[in-house]
Structure 1
Amino acid sequence: MRASDAERERIAETLRDAVAEGRLDMEEFEQRLEAAYKARTHGELEPLVRDLPAPGTAGPAAPVARRTEDETEVHWPSRIGHPPTSKGGFALWGGFQRKGNWTVAKKFTAFAMWGGGDIDLREARFEDRETVIRLFTIMGGIGVTVPPELNVQVKGFGIMGGVGGSKANGEGTPGSPHVTIVAFALMGGIGVDRKLRKVHKERLRLEKREGKERKELG
């Protein structure tokens, strides 16, 4: 049976609880999380949590359950339809950054030559539901970070260089904007990676610390 976005997010939440309790190390957690967001059927999702108990218990993992859009961790409607704060980035013998609560233009273009750029979409807002990010680099590098909840498609190629981002391709949670990244690298590199949002990382850190304290007290 085909899996829904909500079911993929439910499995992802179980994996986050497992790493917070020390049942998974970060490397295995990231591998399973990536597989969860790429899964298309229940048969692909269930093995990812089959050996994990339900959070806080010693019993079997909770089954895949449906969740409503209101329960998703990112409220996309509130982050779409804002005036852009940046339409591009430029680096020549230097660098540029786009991070935090910035708003991405529906057509964003960045260029780096003998320099580098850092684009982080994890906390970003969007001018439009359909966003195209065009990246060009000559003997330079540009890195893009996207959250697991974002719908992303990466296209591009390199000449004596490389474009890495196939693992970042995938659907987002319900209501996610669609971001197409078109990249070209000449004797340089462009990379696109999925990483947890900072609030998730902080929560995992706190939960792991609390779990450690409970073990010490027990």
Structure 2
Amino acid sequence: MRASHHDRDTVVERLRDAAAEGRLDPDEFDERLERALTAKTHADLNALTADLPAPQAALQQAAEQQRPPLVVQGGISGAALGPNRWQAPAHITAHGGLGGATLDFSRVQSHLPEIHVEAHGDTSGVTIVIPDGWAADTAGIDPGIGGLKDKTTPDRHPGTPLIRLTGTGGLGGVHIRHPNRRERRKLDTDPA
């Protein structure tokens, strides 16, 4: 597969990090840097970093992928995650139950490229709030009777996770959106 500018830049950063850590001497760094900047394929780039350890972010992502899914049960009185700070795992399952469930990602900082949210609206529904700059892929959800309301924008900022939504709307439906006016004011006045 042909390499893009972004692919080459990523390898250049890994080579710079390896040189800064003392894994590459200056001559070897210069030679690999030149080869990275002129690489045509992914195979050319992979050969330049094959003997280097995986970057720390990749190790953290692999560890996150191994964590068991977080399960949120709406039950009779409902359940909510957020708007306080919390750590989002790679997979979350939310059941609306009778009281409803809310997942508020407004204050979540995640290094994951993707977060899988399996939502089941049940009777009272599931509401998911994602920050501006995050995007959602809702193609994997069955709207059921309650339906799916997607009020997010497709404008995804670099380095932000994609919310991959699956599951079913059930009777209560699934609603995914960005923060409303009231929530934005609260975020502005209370950034903690």
Distance 1:129 1:197 in 2: 27
Name the aligned partner's letter for residue 86 of structure 2: W
Aligned match for 2:169, one of 155, 160, 185? 185
Q: CA RMSD for the aligned pairs?
A: 3.2
- Give the aligned partner of residue 94 of structure 1: 77
1:152-163 residue pairs with structure 2 within 5 A?
Answer: 152-155=136-139, 156-163=141-148
Larger radius of gyration: 2
- Give the aligned partner of residue 13 of structure 2: none
Give the total of aligned pairs: 126
1:200 CA drift (Å): 6.0
Q: TM-score, normalised by structure 1?
A: 0.49
What SS class does the counterpart of residue 152 from structure 1 fall into? strand
Structure number with greater CO (CA < 8 Å, separation at least 6) is: 1
1:113 CA drift (Å): 1.8
1:50-69 residue pairs with structure 2 within 5 A?
Answer: none
Structure 2 unaligned runs (5+)? 1-56
1:116 CA drift (Å): 0.6
1:105 CA drift (Å): 0.9
- Give the aligned partner of residue 128 of structure 1: 112
Distance 2:126 2:86 in 1: 18
1:147 CA drift (Å): 1.2
1:104 CA drift (Å): 1.0
Cα 1:171–1:88, aligned 2, differ >3 Å: closer, same or farther?
farther
- Give the aligned partner of residue 44 of structure 2: none
Residues 77-109 of structure 1, C-alpha deviation per residue, up to 9 Å, x if partnerless? 8xx859679712012212111102101110111
Q: TM-score, normalised by structure 2?
A: 0.55
1:202 CA drift (Å): 6.2
1:43-122 residue pairs with structure 2 within 5 A?
Answer: 87-99=70-82, 100-122=84-106
